[in-house]
Amino acid sequence: MRGNKREKQMETFDKISNEYKNKALVQQKASLKLFELLKVGEFDDIIDVACGPGNITKWLADKTKGKVVGTDISQGMIEQARAAYPEIEFRQVAVQDLGYKNSFNIAFCNSSLQWFTEPDKSIQEICRCLKPKGKLGVACPGSLKWAPWFMKIVEEVKKHKEIADIFKHWKSPWWWLESEKEYIKFFERNGFKTLHIEIAYEEDYYDIEKAYNIYLSGAANGFTGKTYYDIEISDNYIKTFNNFAKEEMIKSSKNNKVKVDFNRMYYVGQK
């Protein structure tokens, strides 16, 4: 893989910033449950870490009279957020470099932990930015094993001769742990007391186009990101890979509906 890890993440999400808000349906649904688990107060100050194009940040800002700030490593995402919601403060900054101290009651981190390139350092930095007794809320698919629907699709895509040899050069960009116990240890060694953790099985049915858009907003960015291969890959390879993925969704669909299922980790910890 070429370049440093931060540059790879920036490139990945800059590429999809124009379309992410409309396609990230699963991520948006997870944010609703995470918000409920956090029991946000009327005047809580909130930092939305890895805020993307800012639609969830705006939703959070409407739920509190406190200060709300959105941060993301992607310039494209932050530009979208600032254009859409100029009344909210957005910063382009890596989570490792937030730079706040005792500033927020809530750190909201939805569908992004798996992308952190320095997870321990990142959670320590989030802890530092929280006020005493402040809370961190995290939602994310826990590992590739916890995302049955797109793993089945990718396993089939990899069998095509146009994909197989090149895909051998792919390196996973994701960071995962495999159990609640491991996640508890991870958060607690980085400054948090666990208030809630669960692995929730979530299953929904979407029409083929919506299911494909969900794939494009998440898994596709890892499986077809050019920086995650140790050889040069072409735009045609990416297009072919994603076309095969869509074909698999069509094959697996029933009555034009595709089952999209995850085992998602929800965590709430207190500083």
What pLDDT digit, counting tens, does each position of 88-133 carry? 999 999 999 999 999 999 999 998 999 999 999 999 999 999 999 9
Is residue 142 over pLDDT 90?
Answer: no
Strand (E) or helix (H) holding 258 = strand 257-270
**Cα–Cα distance measured from residue 220 to residue 214, given in angstroms and rounded to the nearest whole number:** 9
Residue 18: what pLDDT? 47
Q: What is the mean pLDDT of the chain?
A: 89
- What are the structure tokens assigned to 12, written together? 């990945």
Asked whether residue 62 carries a pLDDT value surpassing 90, the answer given is yes
CA 129/CA 7 separation, integer angstroms: 24
pTM (global) more than 0.85: yes
Among residues of the chain, what percentage have pLDDT more than 90? 73
Listing DSSP states for 63-113 in one string gives: T-SS-EEEEES-HHHHHHHHHH-TTSEEEE--GGG---SS-EEEEEEES-G
Q: What is the pLDDT of residues 6-20, one digit of tens each?
A: 554 445 444 444 444
Give per-residue pLDDT as tens, 198-243: 998 888 899 999 999 888 888 888 999 999 999 999 999 999 999 9
For strands 104-110 and 130-141, give the pairing: parallel
Domain ranges of the chain: 5-270
Q: How far apart are CA 179 and CA 154, in angstroms?
A: 23
Q: What is the pLDDT of residues 31-59, one digit of tens each?
A: 889 999 999 999 999 999 999 999 999 99
End-to-end alpha carbon distance in the chain: 36
Q: Give me the sheet containing 46-49, strands edge to edge.
A: 89-92, 68-72, 46-49, 104-110, 130-141, 257-270, 193-207
Element (H, E) at 270: strand 257-270
24 band by pLDDT with thresholds 50, 70 and 90: very low
CATH superfamily of 5-270: Vaccinia Virus protein VP39 (3.40.50.150)
- What contacts 146, CB < 8 A, 6 or more positions away? 199, 262, 263, 264, 265
Q: What whole-number percentage of the chain has pLDDT above 70? A: 89
d(CA 171, CA 187): 26
Q: State residue 10's pLDDT score.
A: 46
